[in-house]
Amino acid sequence: MVPSSPDYNPREYWLARGKVYKERFKYDPEKRLQEDVLLDYLKTISPFPTTVLELRCGSGRISDLVLSNFQT
């Protein structure tokens, strides 16, 4: 299915793309520094927000990181 075809369904297209991305994703240990910097920054926010609007891009790795470190 190509985005310009008449039977293009954006939801199906992006769900399929996301599944392939997730299957092929390999964690890069060098990203640990990015994660640590982000978490350290978020810990400085006071009061910490109880509501977050997320506009997804990628597999949700950062969202999972934040949720696992800041669940209330």
Q: What angle do CA 32, 18, 54 make, to 5 degrees?
A: 65
Domain ranges of the chain: 10-70
pLDDT of residue 66: 86
> Which residues neighbour 8 within 8 Å (Cβ) at sequence distance 6 or greater?
1, 2
**Nearest C-alpha neighbor of 67 from the set 58, 2, 54, 7:** 54
Q: Quote the CA–CA distance of 1 and 11 in Å, as a whole number.
A: 12
pLDDT of residue 25: 82
pLDDT of residue 23: 86
Residue-wise pLDDT tens for the chain (72 aa)?
A: 556 677 888 889 888 988 888 888 888 888 899 999 999 998 898 887 777 777 766 677 888 888 888 876
